[in-house]
Amino acid sequence: MGRRVSFRFILIGPILAIGLALLVLAGLYTYLSDWFERPGPNSESLTVLLARGSGARAIAERLTAAGVVADADLFVAGVWLEDKLGALKAGEYAFAPRLSAHQVMDRLVAGDTVARRLTIAEGLTSAQVLALVAAADGLAGALETAPGEGELLPETYHFAYGDARAELVRRMQDSMRTVLAELWPAREPELPLQTPEEAVVLASIVEKETGVAAERPLVAGVFINRLRRGMPLQSDPTVIYALTQGQGVLGRPLRRADLATDHPFNTYRHKGLPPGPIANPGRESIAAVLHPAATDALYFVADGSGGHAFARTIAEHLDNVRRWRALRKKQSEAAAAE
């Protein structure tokens, strides 16, 4: 009889221990699950950079130090329970106030990093674009090769912290090729442009000649008319490019002597298109030269309002030039009187 009692106690002891352990584990699981869903400690939005190559432990410690989560150990444990330890992605993240650890984990698993932006304005030279890329905060690496003039499409590009500068420039080149592949086949028939590259050359001139979007097709129409008649384009921006080599702005008005500069890009001295683009034109300027306005104008000059006055004959053009010079003189006198 005594042996049976002893044997029963021998069985009950481990069962009780296992049951107690299960109760403890269940309590820990309940506590951890509850903690994982609680609002986080940060009372304001935070941006945190998680270095590339960081593991779950390093990420948890960085988030805790930044105040996004309250406890690194509990965060790692919660991520482990969700079977996401190997799915956390490094990068730059913006966290709204009081996100739960579960929500933080979901952001890291999704790789929902901060989207940085770099806007490339129409009409910049490639040297100017590369200077912006080099100065952009958050990009990494150097540029080993420089793109040619006119190869980069101006627009706003998004990137993540740590993206390579070379990759962003490659995207700009791909975007330009995509636009040309789309627009060139739909061009107007019988244009004096033989290749998409020639379209980019003329579009770069149109881009530099006018900042008024509605004028682009008309300016393009004037240059198309000149090309068809074998007239020199006589574009001031091409002379400026010849003088600066695309490295920046001239910083002064053009002089009469500049127009006589013997340079392949000087369209006062050389007929036809210059040897290459003088800037990176935008999509609208490319579209303008492929669908120029139907016009008989051959000349244009600034009209003092930000736009241009167009003329069919040299006599009309000279009248417009006189009006522009008179207006500019009046404006200079008014400025000097102030």
Write the pLDDT tens digit of every residue in 92-148. Answer: 999 999 999 999 999 999 999 999 999 999 999 999 999 999 999 999 999 988 999
Structure tokens at 295: 């016009």
For every residue of 108-145, DSSP letters joined together read HHHT----EEEE--TT--HHHHHHHHHH-TT-BS--SS
- Cβ–Cβ < 8 Å for 296, 273: no
Q: How far is CA 168 from CA 127, 172, 202, 214, in A?
A: 15, 6, 25, 30
The amino acid at residue 52 is: R
Portion of the chain with pLDDT greater than 70, in percent:
91
187 CB-side CA count, 13 A: 21
**Which residue segment(s) compose the domain that 304 sits in?**
296-338
* Residues forming a β-bridge with 46: 95
Identify whether 284 is part of a domain: yes
Q: Are residues 105 and 130 in the same domain?
A: no
Q: Are residues 216 and 246 in the same domain?
A: yes
Please name the residues in contact with 6: beta carbons below 8 A apart, sequence gap of 6 or more: none
Q: Are residues 144 and 232 in the same domain?
A: yes
pLDDT of 156 over the 70 cut: yes
Write the pLDDT tens digit of every residue in 177-231. Answer: 999 999 999 999 999 999 999 999 999 999 999 999 999 999 999 999 999 999 9
Q: What is the CATH number for 88?
A: 3.30.1490.480
Identify whether 25 is part of a domain: no
Q: Are residues 316 and 233 in the same domain?
A: no
Query: What helix, strand, coil percent values describe the chain, rounded to 5?
Result: 55, 10, 40
Q: Are residues 146 and 240 in the same domain?
A: yes
Q: Are residues 186 and 328 in the same domain?
A: no
The three-class DSSP label of residue 99 is coil
Structure tokens at 185: 């086949």
Q: Are residues 107 and 127 in the same domain?
A: no
Position 89 scores a pLDDT of 95
Look at residues 80, 92, 97, 67 and name the one whose alpha carbon lies nearest to residue 36.
80
Q: Are residues 110 and 120 in the same domain?
A: no
In whole angstroms, give the CA distance from residue 38 to residue 284: 51
Q: Are residues 275 and 309 in the same domain?
A: no
Instruction: Count up the domains in the chain and report the number.
Output: 3
Q: Are residues 126 and 215 in the same domain?
A: yes
Question: Containing H/E element for 158?
Answer: strand 156-159
Domain-terminating residue out of 114, 133, 154: 114
Domain-terminating residue out of 67, 96, 114: 114
Identify whether 279 is part of a domain: yes
Q: Are residues 207 and 240 in the same domain?
A: yes
* pTM of the model as a whole: 0.83
Q: What is the CATH number for 309?
A: 3.30.160.60
The amino acid at residue 200 is: V
Q: CA geometry: angle at 134 spanning 128 and 135, to 5°?
A: 95
Identify whether 54 is part of a domain: yes
Q: Alpha-carbon torsion 248, 254, 259, 260, what sign?
A: negative
Q: Are residues 302 and 230 in the same domain?
A: no
Q: How far is CA 307 from CA 218, 298, 310, 324, in A?
A: 11, 16, 10, 11
